[in-house]
A = this chain, B = another copy of it.
Amino acid sequence: MTKKGTIILETFDSKSLRNNPLCDPSIREFPVYLPPSYYSSKKNYPVAYFLSGFSGVGQMHLNVSFLSENIHQRLDRLTASGKMKEMIVVLPDCMTRYGGSQFINSLGTGNYEDYIVKELVPYIDKNYRTIASNSKRAVCGKSSGGYGAAVLAMRNPDVFGLMCSTAGDMSFEYCYQPDFPKFITDIEHYGKGDKAIKHFIKHEINFKQPKPKYFFNILNSIAMASCYSPDPGGFKTKGYNFDLPFDVETGEPNTAIFSKWLKHDPVRMVDKYEKNLRKLKLIYLDAGVNDEFNLHIGARIFCDKLKKKKIKYVHEEFNAGHMNISYRYDRTFEMISKHC
């Protein structure tokens, strides 16, 4: 029988997240995967930080389901097959009340970039036998996790030397803007304008079921606004702490606010972080050619910008949409293994 890796459920109290604006807990539990040989060797291992998509946290990747591996099973299989080097995989919890932090520092949600870069990485390096070097430290993920991977690596190449972004949020006019008119329509189930948003935030983001199908459409725009265009004083003035990139009643685009979002758009960050991008040992992007959020287009644009700057990258497309593509994680771990 194949030797298996071990899952450690870590608990960590973050200084970065203390007193965050959404009163989310600073203590977070998250799984750490240790490779099969970990306890029988004295080796040090590369580390991959695996970021979850919107509405996800690391622990959910341990959920069991029929005919579909969880991350523990997947990593064991990949390691056993030789496709993947033995490595430590960290699955952080960067959840917020609104469903996600995009792994960045924001006055609307908290300092999640700091949490990962300044706290988790040192903590893991201290407590586990890692190879504590950017050339052996990867960041990866899908969807919002793919966004986080791209942005964290671009901004912290000395921390993360390898980056794998699967269907990561980018090219915001294509992946987010189509939701804005839907938001206008959907939020009216809860009232008019600011009041409706206030009501939604106060009374709808909870465990009460069933949720209407438009619930996540609304929540996603709220979460992104809290990350990209926070309005820290907003709780007092209008009942919520962010600005939306459109008029809340008519839907008219607010380009001033949207330009704040665009500063966080990976395809628009390439110029600013060009130097950093050149430092990375691995830039890997993939996406399904039918991605419902057009993230394959985002990846193309991102890669095209790298190409024009002659920065090396690997770009793949596969025959799928945005959902049910966890099988693509195989490629992520193969790519990391090849380059670390």
Q: Is the CB of A55 within 8 A of B63?
A: no
Q: Is the CB of A55 within 8 A of B64?
A: no
Q: Is the CB of B68 within 8 A of A207?
A: yes
- Report Cα–Cα, A173/B210, bound state, in Å: 29
List chain B residues, Cβ under 8 A from A95: 66
Min CB distance A185 to B, Å, is: 6
Q: Is the CB of B67 within 8 A of A207?
A: yes
Does A196 reach chain B (CB closer than 8 Å)?
no
Once A250-B304, A251-B171, A327-B209 are accepted as A-B contacts, the answer to whether A297 and B184 lie under 8 Å apart by CB is yes
Min CB distance A49 to B, Å, is: 20
List chain B residues, Cβ under 8 A from A339: none
- Report Cα–Cα, A320/B210, bound state, in Å: 9
Does A137 reach chain B (CB closer than 8 Å)?
no
Does A60 reach chain B (CB closer than 8 Å)?
yes
Question: Which of A81-89, A104-112, A175-183 is the interface stretch?
Answer: A175-183
List chain B residues, Cβ under 8 A from A304: 247, 249-250, 252
> Which chain B residue lies CB-closest to A326?
B209
Once A66-B56, A178-B178, A297-B185 are accepted as A-B contacts, the answer to whether A173 and B253 lie under 8 Å apart by CB is yes
List chain B residues, Cβ under 8 A from A67: 55, 205-207, 211
Q: Is the CB of A185 within 8 A of B290?
A: yes
Once A251-B171, A297-B185 are accepted as A-B contacts, the answer to whether A63 and B63 lie under 8 Å apart by CB is yes
List chain B residues, Cβ under 8 A from A324: 209-210
Q: Is the CB of A60 within 8 A of B64?
A: yes
Proximity bits, A55-85, B CB within 8 Å = 1, else 0: 1110110011111110001000000000000
List chain B residues, Cβ under 8 A from A209: 68-69, 324, 326-327
Q: Is the CB of A210 within 8 A of B325?
A: yes
> Which chain B residue lies CB-closest to A319?
B210
Interface residues of A in 170-216 (CB under 8 A from B): 171, 173-174, 177-178, 180-182, 184-185, 188, 205-207, 209-211
List chain B residues, Cβ under 8 A from A247: 301, 304
Does A102 reach chain B (CB closer than 8 Å)?
no
The one of B210, B300, B325, B326 that contacts A250, using a Cβ cutoff of 8 Å: B300
List chain B residues, Cβ under 8 A from A57: 64, 66
Q: Is the CB of B327 within 8 A of A210?
A: yes
Does A161 reach chain B (CB closer than 8 Å)?
no
Does A296 reach chain B (CB closer than 8 Å)?
yes
List chain B residues, Cβ under 8 A from A267: 252
List chain B residues, Cβ under 8 A from A56: 66
Min CB distance A314 to B, Å, is: 17
Does A117 reach chain B (CB closer than 8 Å)?
no
List chain B residues, Cβ under 8 A from A269: none
- Report Cα–Cα, A249/B297, bound state, in Å: 9
Min CB distance A111 to B, Å, is: 21
Q: A63-B63, A251-B294 are in contact. List 19 more A-B contacts (CB 8 A).
A: A56-B66, A57-B64, A60-B65, A63-B65, A66-B99, A67-B206, A171-B181, A171-B252, A173-B173, A173-B253, A174-B180, A174-B181, A181-B294, A209-B324, A209-B326, A210-B324, A249-B300, A249-B304, A251-B297
A-B pairs with lowest CB-CB distance, top 7: A209-B327, A181-B294, A63-B63, A55-B66, A251-B297, A178-B178, A181-B297
